[in-house]
A and B are shown apart, each in its own frame.
Chain A
Amino acid sequence: MFRYIIRRLIYMIPVLIGISIIAFITMYAAGDPIALIKAGKPNITQVTLEGLKRYYGLDKPLPIQYLSWLSNILQLNFGNSLYGGRPVNDIIAPRIWPTIELQVVSLLIAFAISIPIAVQSARKPYSKQDVTITSLSLFGVSMPTFWFGLILIIVFSFSLGWFPSAGSQGVAGFVWWGNPLLDQIAHLILPVAVLVYVSLAQNIRLIRANMLEVLRSDYVLAARASGLSERKVVYGYALRNAITPALTFLGIALGGMIAGAPMTEYVFSWPGLGRQYVASTINLDFPTIMGITMIITVMTLIANLIMDILYVYIDPRVRIR
């Protein structure tokens, strides 16, 4: 197992390099930051522009620029922000944890809830209960993530005043529910509810479809025929096979979820990577944009690795080579 993980980590290197090259070229093709600075400040002098160009190393050829950028990020140095001049590290570092906290909590809750619901739904397909569940999850997939967040804020925060509407902790000495830990939870509830509902809908649709297929297979019939309880058949025998394809998909979905964080974080003013990304992109602050992109890519790859490891545990047929 240990060797498997090490090898998977090594496999991640070419993928990362590939994505970093694509990201770099994309950013380069996306626009010349000097021209953008000029567009923003029409009466800037040519001398200043040349100076800026030299300062940011933009006068060197493209491969050199890439290599120097790559060697810098390998030393975890993403350079300085074009907007305000602060080191990108200082901007990014405090925002990593809030994003992970939000994503992991929502993912765990969503997965825990979606399994029993999907199983219930698949056991009596096209029954009233199943139709209700599938329609509700289709409804969930159709809802704009951020809009659901807005509705929750309007109802639970503005009207009822139960939960805070923004941020990850109380400000100016005001602590929700009189305790720092409870304050954290109070701030988490609404954004987590949004993320859970959105991924819940996807999970249920996926696991239900797999479960329907598995429940029709011969080995389930054999298990039923040998007189096992329905509970044992469904949860002990069928579930494992229904969940493995879902896990692969979840690995991809997780990437989408982490990258989709901007929506939720923006709505709830959550101090995470996603909200910072939106702000940096509006200012076209390329060093910060690149830094966050790389961090999010690494997080996605690690999430995929964890999924693959889980896969090995759940499905013994998957041999570790």
Chain B
Amino acid sequence: MKTENSALNKTPKRRSASQWAVAWRRFRRNKAGVAGLIIVLAVVFVGIFGDFLAPYPAYPNLGALTPFNHGDVRTPPSLKYPLGTDVGGTDVLSDILHGTKYALYVGVVVTIITMAIAIVVGAIAGYFGGWVDNVLMRITEVFLVFPSLLFILVFVKVLTVGAGVGSSINFLGLSIPMGLTIVVLVLAIFNWPGDARMIRGEFLRVRELEFVEAERALGANNRRIIFRHILPNILSSIIVVASLTIAYAILLEAGVSFLGFGDVNTVTWGQILENNFSDMRIVWWAEVFPGLAILITVFGFNLLGDGLSDALNPRLRD
């Protein structure tokens, strides 16, 4: 397919564009994938504009009585509070809308860090092979056998117990909660081994292809071969895995928060679930709807990932 394209189009730029255009055409035919894309776009929209869409302002601080708290505690869904209010009298719909940006923050940042580590480790192990490969793969294996959730909980607890919780970092005008960032870093550190194995496998496959050999014969150094030639060739697999990793990270953060290890000052979706867990016999709406938000978001990213996988790696399909 590749040689065909290069014969048709002279410039390399045109060639890569048409390759993605082919993938897009294939993707558009996949109803599930398009549905996933629409869900993801909608979630991103809510993530950006959630603060304006929400009927009530965000909860400023834990324990503070806020203007929107009219004393309407545990009211079932009504016109005034579309999804009811929780045990603290907060409007559940507003909390969900405000929380969307945190879910995206967790998903995207965990994935960026995870993929960065995974690409470096996977590239070194897969490209150089030998003892480097052996050592790196043994390390990832230990991580895989490791009961990582258990260690995530310990790390999050220890790191958030004193320092930094409640404060936030200012980054490009966005205020990023410190506690949540700690959770994000810990999740990323325990999340990369699986992805590193996948990227290593791709490197093993591609490094044996003729064009790499040709490139080496032309005298390209290792860095050039890895970054300019192999990496673009496995980009499609990386995109697919990244989409699935976003979904997984959002799920994991929700779980960690639900178990009571999250950032108590940041109202993420998992945090809403945890806050109302002990009273869920009464405030069932404060458990059902935030969970539904997690489910829809994660489902969207998973659908998108599967759709991308079908579109970008058509040989896997049939």
Contact = CB atoms under 8 A, between A and B. Distances in A.
Interface in B143-201: 144-151, 153-155, 157-158, 161-162
Q: Is the interface of B mostly helix, strand, loop or mixed?
A: helix
Contacts of A26: 151, 154-155
Nearest to A209: B316
Contacts of B161: 31, 36, 39, 284
Interface string A18-50: 110010001100110000100100000000000
B81 to A, nearest CB: 19
B241 interface: no
B102 interface: no
Nearest to A297: B147
B135 interface: no
Q: Is the interface of A mostly helix, strand, loop or mixed?
A: helix
Contact of A15 (B145, B158, B295): B145
A30 B294 contact: no
Nearest to B305: A138
B267 interface: no
A281 B153 contact: yes
Interface stretch (B44-52, B68-76, B229-237, B258-266): B258-266
Given A135-B32, A262-B259, A284-B158, A144 B291 contact: yes
Contact of B281 (A36, A139, A158, A293): A158
Contacts of A138: 299, 302-303, 306
Interface string A119-155: 0000001000000000100110111111100110110
A185 B294 CA distance: 31
B247 interface: yes
A246 interface: no
Interface in A231-287: 252, 255-256, 258-260, 262-263, 266, 277-278, 281-282, 284
Nearest to A26: B151
B251 interface: yes
Interface residues of A, number: 48
Interface residues of B, number: 41
A150 B291 contact: yes
Nearest to A159: B284
A141 B306 CA distance: 12
A150 B280 contact: yes
Contact of B294 (A15, A22, A147, A262): A147
Most buried by A among B150, B158, B247: B150
A55 B287 CA distance: 45
A138 B36 CA distance: 12
Interface of A: 15, 18-19, 22, 26-27, 30-31, 36, 39, 125, 135, 138-139, 141-147, 150-151, 153-154, 158, 252, 255-256, 258-260, 262-263, 266, 277-278, 281-282, 284, 289, 292-293, 296-297, 300-301, 304
Interface of B: 32, 142, 144-151, 153-155, 157-158, 161-162, 247, 251, 254-255, 258-261, 273, 277, 280-281, 284, 287-288, 291, 294-295, 298-299, 302-303, 306, 318
7 contacts: A26-B155, A147-B273, A154-B284, A262-B153, A266-B258, A282-B157, A304-B145
